C-alpha cells in the first residue's frame, strides 16, 4: 500500500512522494484530462484554479486550453508537489502560478476564478475539511463560476473494490463519495449541482455553479 503523510487530522493527507506519484499516476491519469477540461467547460481567456494540483499535469493542460489570455493557478499543501509542478512548467516554458497552500485556506481574493477544478483531492480531506474547501472554492469563484470535483468511484464488487482500496490507500478511499460531495455542494448553496461518471477510468464528478 502507498503511504500518505497524515499531517494532522485536521489538515488533510498530503502526498509528499511527488516524483513517484507522477511516474505512476501521470500517464494513467492523462487519459482523463481532456474529459475533465470538457466537463469544467474551460474556455479561452478563463481564470482557473486547480485545487490540490499535485505535480501539475492537469494544471498544465488547463493552461493550454485558456491560452495566453487566460490565467491558471495550482495549489497543493505538499511543497514537494509544488516544486515538481514548477519544474515541469519551467521546462515547458509555461506560465502557471503554483503555490503551496491548503484547500481550506486559499490565498486568493474573493471572486477571482471562472472555474475551480479538483481531481482526486477530496478523498484526502477528512471530515469537515470538505465543507471548508467547498466554502473556500465558493468564495474565490466569480458569480456564475463553476466548481468541478473529480474523484474515484470504486466498484462495489468486494474483490475488485477491496483490491483498489488496498492499492490506492485504504485509509483514504472510504472518504471518496462524489454523491456525498454533491450533497455538500447543495448544502453550501451551489446551484445546478450534478453528479455522474466521467466515463474515464474509475472517475466520477460533482459539479456546481456559484449563484449569480
Ligand atoms: C491524489 S493527489 C491528486 C493530485 C492531482 N490533483 C492529480 O489529479 O494528479 C492528492 C493531492 O492532494 C493534496 N492535498 C491533500 N490535502 C490537501 C489540502 N488540505 N490542501 C491542499 N492539497 C491537499 C496532496 O498533497 C496531493 O498532492
Task: Report the candidate in 189, 58, 179 with the shortest Cα–Cα distance to residue 134.
Answer: 189
Contact 198, 32 (CB under 8 A): yes
Is the distance from the beta carbon of residue 52 to the nearest atom of ligand 1 less than 6 Å?
yes
Pocket lining: 117 vs ligand 1, CB cutoff 6 Å: no
Ligand 1 centroid to Cα of residue 16, in Å, is: 10
Nearest CA to ligand 1 atom 27: 54
Residue 15, ligand 1, Cβ within 6 A: yes
| Ligand 1: residue whose CA is nearest its atom 24 | 14
For the stretch 163-197, pLDDT in tens is 655 665 545 545 678 999 999 999 999 999 999 99
Exposure string for 61-90, b = 16+ CB within 10 A, e = fewer: bbbebbeeebbbbbbbbbebbbbbbbebbe
Ligand 1 and 54: CB distance under 6 A: yes
pLDDT at 160: 59
Q: Is the CB of 184 under 6 A from ligand 1?
A: no
The one-character DSSP state at 3 is P
pLDDT attached to residue 12: 80
Backbone angles phi and psi of 87, in degrees to 5: -65, -45
Q: Give the pLDDT of residue 17.
A: 86
Q: In the chain, where are the structural domains located?
A: 5-209
Closest by CA to 178, choosing from 121, 133, 129, is 121
Closest CA to 51 of 92, 83, 8, 82: 82
Q: Is 203 in the pocket of ligand 1 (CB under 6 A)?
A: no
**Ligand 1 nearest atom to the CA of residue 102, by list position:** 20
Residue with cell 483514504: 172
- Confidence (pLDDT) at 151: 95
Residues of the chain with pLDDT under 70: 1-10, 155-175
CATH of 5-209 among 3.40.50.720, 1.10.357.10, 3.40.50.970, 3.40.50.150:
3.40.50.150
Distance of CA 72 to the CA centre of its chain: 14
Amino acid at each position: 500500500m502507498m503511504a500518505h503523510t497524515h499531517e494532522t487530522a485536521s489538515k488533510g493527507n498530503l502526498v509528499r512522494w511527488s516524483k513517484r506519484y507522477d511516474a505512476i499516476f501521470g500517464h494513467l491519469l492523462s487519459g482523463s484530462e481532456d474529459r475533465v477540461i470538457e466537463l469544467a467547460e474551460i474556455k479561452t481567456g478563463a481564470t482557473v484554479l486547480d485545487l490540490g494540483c499535485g505535480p501539475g499535469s492537469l494544471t498544465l493542460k488547463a493552461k493550454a486550453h485558456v491560452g495566453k489570455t487566460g490565467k491558471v493557478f495550482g495549489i497543493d499543501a505538499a511543497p514537494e508537489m509544488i516544486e515538481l509542478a514548477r519544474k515541469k512548467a519551467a521546462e515547458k516554458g509555461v506560465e502557471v502560478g503554483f503555490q503551496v497552500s491548503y484547500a481550506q485556506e486559499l490565498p486568493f481574493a474573493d471572486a477571482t476564478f471562472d472555474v475551480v477544478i479538483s481531481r482526486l483531492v477530496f478523498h484526502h480531506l477528512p471530515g469537515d475539511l470538505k465543507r471548508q474547501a467547498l466554502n473556500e472554492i465558493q468564495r474565490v469563484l466569480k458569480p456564475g463560476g463553476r466548481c468541478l470535483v473529480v474523484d474515484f468511484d470504486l466498484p462495489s464488487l468486494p474483490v475488485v473494490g477491496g483490491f483498489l482500496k488496498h492499492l490506492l490507500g485504504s485509509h483514504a478511499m472510504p472518504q471518496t463519495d462524489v454523491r456525498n460531495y454533491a450533497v455538500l455542494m447543495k448544502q453550501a448553496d451551489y446551484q445546478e449541482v450534478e453528479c455522474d461518471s466521467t466515463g474515464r477510468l474509475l472517475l466520477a464528478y460533482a459539479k456546481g455553479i456559484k449563484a449569480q
